Structure 1
């Protein structure tokens, strides 16, 4: 989970170099070359694993892995998918239903034995909870606006009373595991008017649908510019009652993470529009009170 709203998908034409925190992406007309920085071999391995598995079990939903390091250590070459990133533009009902269909496809792609053998994805609930507790334990780097402080205090109180099904190793009973892409940024979902495809699997692994969909609804890129119609997307996703009940707490936990990230933005070198942290504080308060 990155602390800003900037990123780029792999749709469109032309060639472009896009630097990211863990890797550098070069977009070519017919392929994408993604080179991981030193120290991120595990992320690269997760992406390779995901692309190989999806090519077998859900062909067409993700890029095709063309080459992975035989000639360029640390690099992955994959096909370039058609479509335009969903982030930052209005999405009507057909696009939201196509997005939900893509999520169902990828979440249910793996046979149960392969899914059971897969490690839990990075950044799942226990890791996120431990990160939040570390952040609460250390002093803030800079003064925070009152509305942000109040929301963080409310988040601390909620976190202290959250059940193990929200903060522990595993979700509550009745919640079915799924394959999780591990990235809620709408920029990594490409729509062509008929279907939606996915890119970026470096944080992928075993997960559950409520957690993965909460990653989408709470990602700052989904509301800081053109907001995603979250109720419509959730209706299209058709979650089970158990997943719906879990979703509310997943959203609260991830919204709290985003508030910490956005509150840490340096005013001298902002990565997000002014007032983004205050808006996130309000979003968190609404989720905590609902």
Structure 2
């Protein structure tokens, strides 16, 4: 069944409405900027009532189906890379004026280290225990600290690597990017690591090596992507224990699969 970006994106009342208001402002600003500089890459903004209760955004409807849960073909991966490369076309001066994304390198390093410091209950599986030992040692090194400062120009990023944000259009043979509510100025290496290692990758396959081959990486950026992949993979791993916040949303065996991924990346 085809999945479409909703015509109307509406917030829901909550005890603290501020995050919802902020996310709608972020989304509207991103859609407006994207339509101006890279039209067709994302839904086009139509109208908004950002101060309403709840805030409301109307955007264009896009055809296609999301890539989450699919085994992405080579053509689809090329299309993902093409979409991500297009983000580089937005002038750096424009991106630098955008509010930074709330989920970025510093937040990810701090959160992942905090999770490790709590010594989460991950069970007694030897593979899982080894992944925690190796991961904790890497987090205690200086490598994560090197990720916080971006030596390259920032990009406008989704700040959400969920593969459900990749919309494949069978007719035009292209990928568009949806769900910009967490977006902001971000580090492209972080965005790539977040997309490649998001837990949604376990629902299907998206060949990371092909994707990175098709991305126009700057000198030294591949190493930063590698370390961000380690960081993001560890972050998910640490949330998958018996009482972890990510466990209820994932099938049995996810922790062990993620432990294997962590060991592969840190091997």
Question: Is the shorter-chain TM-score for this pair beyond 0.5, marking a shared fold?
Answer: yes
Q: Does 1:191 align with 2:191?
A: no
Number of equivalenced pairs: 258
What per-residue deviation string (whole Å, max 9, x for no partner) do you get for residues 256-287 of structure 1? 111012225569x8321111011101100110
Q: CA RMSD in A?
A: 2.4
Q: Does 1:116 align with 2:114?
A: no
What is the Cα deviation at residue 119 of structure 1? 2.9
Picking from 28, 32, 38, the partner of 1:48 is: 28
**How has the CA–CA distance of structure 1 residues 79 and 276 changed in structure 2, closer, same or farther, with 3 Å as cutoff?**
same
Residue 213 of structure 2: aligned partner = 235
Written as runs of structure 1 = structure 2, the 5 A alignment for 1:107-186 is 108-140=88-120, 143=123, 145-163=125-143, 164-166=145-147, 168=148, 170-171=149-150, 173=151, 175-186=152-163
**How has the CA–CA distance of structure 1 residues 127 and 264 changed in structure 2, closer, same or farther, with 3 Å as cutoff?**
farther
Which stretch of structure 1 is more off in the superposition, 154-163 or 32-41? 32-41
Task: Measure the CA separation in 2 of the matches of 1:109 and 1:73.
Answer: 33
What is the Cα deviation at residue 11 of structure 1? 2.0
Q: Does 1:33 align with 2:12?
A: no
Residue 15 of structure 1: aligned partner = none
Query: Is the contact between residue 109 and residue 179 of structure 1 (CA under 8 Å) also seen in structure 2?
Result: no
Task: Measure the CA separation in 1 of the matches of 2:230 and 2:122.
Answer: 24
Picking from 49, 61, 68, the partner of 2:41 is: 61
Equivalent position SS for 1:191: strand
Query: Is the contact between residue 36 and residue 44 of structure 1 (CA under 8 Å) also seen in structure 2?
Result: no
Moved over 6 A (4+): none
TM-score, scaled relative to structure 2? 0.87
Picking from 199, 204, 215, the partner of 2:183 is: 204
**How has the CA–CA distance of structure 1 residues 177 and 262 changed in structure 2, closer, same or farther, with 3 Å as cutoff?**
same
Residue 277 of structure 1: aligned partner = 255
TM-score, scaled relative to structure 1? 0.81
Residue 78 of structure 2: aligned partner = 97
Q: Does 1:249 align with 2:227?
A: yes
Alignment gaps of 5+ in structure 1: 1-7, 13-26
Equivalent position SS for 1:241: coil
Alignment gaps of 5+ in structure 2: none
Which stretch of structure 1 is more off in the superposition, 82-91 or 65-74? 65-74
Residue 4 of structure 1: aligned partner = none
Residue 11 of structure 1: aligned partner = 4
Residue 16 of structure 1: aligned partner = none
Task: Measure the CA separation in 1 of the matches of 2:263 and 2:13.
Answer: 37
Query: Is the contact between residue 9 and residue 189 of structure 1 (CA under 8 Å) also seen in structure 2?
Result: no
What per-residue deviation string (whole Å, max 9, x for no partner) do you get for residues 19-65 of structure 1? xxxxxxxx4xxx23332543322222211110111111111111122
Query: Is the contact between residue 122 and residue 240 of structure 2 (CA under 8 Å) also seen in structure 1?
Result: no
